Structures are given as C-alpha cells and as structure tokens.
Amino acid sequence: MAGASIALVVGSCASPTKPTTVPPVTPPPTPDPPKVTCPAPQTVQSPDGLPAAVEYGSATAINGQPPVTTVCAPATGSRFPIGQTTVTCTATDTLQRVDTCTLAVTVTAPPKLTATSFLAFGDSITWGEDGTNAISSSQPLIIRPAVQLPQSQIYPNILQQELAARYRTQSPTVANAGKPGEAVTDSSTFPRFVGLTSSQRYTAVLIMEGTNDIANRDDRVEPAVIFGLQQMVRDAKSRGIRPYLATIPPQNQMGFRGLAWSLVPGFNDRVRALAAAEGVTLVDVYQGFNNDVTTLIGFDGLHPTAEGYTRIADVFFARIKETLEAPPPLSTTSIGRPAALPTRKR
C-alpha cells in the first residue's frame, strides 16, 4: 500500500507471579513404648503368723507418650499372707501401650523353738542375789542373808521375756531353780537336780554352777566339781532333756567375795572341755562378760549387777536361738505365679 505507514505498538510484558510453596508438615516422632522398672524385692517376717503389711518402693517408667501412668498390684502397704506373692507393676501411656514388670514380696512365718520349757539350775547367781545388799552398814563384818533382786532384773526372768518377745506364737518358760549358797559338790545338789529333771516338765536345762565350790580358793576341788557337772549333763541327756552348760562369770578381786577371781579362768577352761567331751552346747557367760568386772559385777565382787544379769540372759538367748530355732519353712506362692527374675511384655 503506497503512502501507508505501519505503526508498531509496543506493549509491556510482565512476568506472572509464582505461587508460594508451603513446606510439608512433618509430624513429631512417636516416642518409644514405655518401659517400667520394678522396685527391689522385699522380705519381711510376720511376728504373729498373720498377714503382714509390706511397704515397697515405687516403680519407675521411661519413654512412652505422656502422661504415663504406673500402677502396682497388690499396692504397697497391703497386707501380704505368709509365703511369696508376685506383685505386677504396669506402665501405660496415652497410646495405650503397656509394659509390665514383677517383683517378689515374701512374708516368712514367725520363728519357732523346738523346745520351750527351760530349767535354769544353779546357785545364787541363777537365783538373782543382790550383791550390794551383802554387808550390814551398822556391822560391816556381818554378811546379810541373801536378798533377791526385783524379778525383772533376774537372768531367768529376763531370758523368758527375751524368748517371749521373739517367739510370739509360743509361750516359752524359764523356771528359776537357783539356790543361794549351793555348791556342785554338796551332797544334796545332784539329788535336787534329779528331782527337777525327773518331773518331765522341762525340755532343756541351763546349768551354771561352780562359783561356790572354788570360793575357798583351792583348785584341787575342781575335778570333783567337773565330775558333778558331768553327772548333771548325763542325767539330763538320759531323760531327753537338752543340757546347756555355762561357764561362770568373772569375779572382781576388789570385792570381799571375789577372792577366788584368779581361779575362774582355769575352772572355765575345764567347763569348756567338759562341754566338748559330752557334745553339749556351751554357753560362755565368762566370755560374754569380756572381763568387765567394773560395770557387770556388783559391790561384793561376786554377784552381777542388774546389767550383768541382763548380759547372762543375752548370752543364753543367743545360744538358744542358734541351736533351738527351727529353720523357716519353704516359701509358697500365695498370689499368681512364683516370682522370679523381672519380666517384661508389650
């Protein structure tokens, strides 16, 4: 086309807007399933044969989706019967995932004695003489008649209380057959002993005598004393009575009645040898005193103080417990399966 002009129209060209990219949402990782750890096993003794309350520790749980609840059954503080009970602790998280463990709660039966009727045979120390009452204050050279301490301070009575406190389902008795002034070598001593042992009332006899025999400070009498003690031991054994042969307490040479103090160790060596030869239980009262004559031997140098009489009872108690306490019965499972090593399940 002649004379025609061509017009160019130039327009602006804008870039299109890019859409915003939203990053993907990553859910938080699911925690591992819960794991529960049980407290330590517990063993207690029933004092009276009835179910006993038992406290055990808390179970601990880790992992799991919170909150994680932990429950143990039977609960701590419950009364458990004699035998072995399996306690199961369970941890549960909010996703209802579960883990369990177990612990053993064992309640043992109360201890029992195989013999419960005791005869305490001896002289004034068995009887319980009060050595502080030995001399008259108005006439110092006059020895007063024997005076017995209060019953609560005499060794046979203390021993009976100690036995009763431990063996609560039984009724142990300790008869006091002490006689002030008696010597083993007195002609009336062995017949008195036989009169008691032949009564069929006793299952064990506690023999502690010889102090008056060596009081004259003549060690030549010792063989006769040992022979007399041997007679007692053999008589008891022949009747099915269990003999306990005791050494005698030390003496304090500072007391007017402790003049034979130097003969006591040698005499007790003979008593120990006799117990070994006869195969009977030795009760080493002398060793139990540990030569403490200041606090355990009284004013007169011969008779124990109240603390000394308690020491005698303690030594006898320890030997009786060691030799006459019946072994505990085997545990039985009272709830669930026998408790063994901790187990887990999911």
Tokens linked to 67: 């909150």
Residue 11 pLDDT: 52
Diameter of the chain by CA atoms? 175
CA distance 246 to 265: 13
pLDDT band at 1 (very low <50, low <70, confident <90, very high): very low
Residue 145 pLDDT: 81
Residue 133 pLDDT: 77
Mean pLDDT value across residues 91-115: 96
CA distance 187 to 223: 16
Q: Which residues contact 45 (CB under 8 A, 6 or more apart)?
A: 52, 107, 108, 109, 110, 111
Tokens linked to 80: 């458990």
3-state SS, residue 191: helix
Burial 238-262 (b: 16+ CB within 10 A, else e): eeebbbbbbbbbbbbeebebbbbbe
β-bridge mates for residue 208, sequence order: 122
CA distance 95 to 118: 66
Q: Is the dihedral of CA 95, 96, 97, 101 positive or negative?
A: positive
> Which one-letter DSSP state was computed for residue 117?
E
What are the two backbone dihedrals, phi and then psi, of residue 34, each rounded to the nearest 5 degrees? -65, 150
Q: Per residue in 164-218, pLDDT tens?
A: 999 999 999 999 999 999 999 999 999 999 999 999 999 999 999 999 999 988 8
pLDDT band at 77 (very low <50, low <70, confident <90, very high): very high
C-beta of residue 109 within 8 angstroms of C-beta of residue 46: yes
Q: Per residue in 234-249, pLDDT tens?
A: 999 999 999 999 999 9
- Give the pTM: 0.79
- Tell me the average pLDDT of the chain: 89
Tokens linked to 1: 């086309």
Tokens linked to 260: 């034979």
CA distance 35 to 98: 8
Q: Per residue in 256-278, pLDDT tens?
A: 899 999 999 999 999 999 999 99
Q: Domains, the chain, ranges and CATH?
A: 35-109+329-335 (2.60.40), 117-324 (3.40.50.1110)
Poorest-confidence range of 24-28, 48-52, 327-331, 342-346? 342-346
CA distance 122 to 129: 12
Mean pLDDT value across residues 287-312: 96
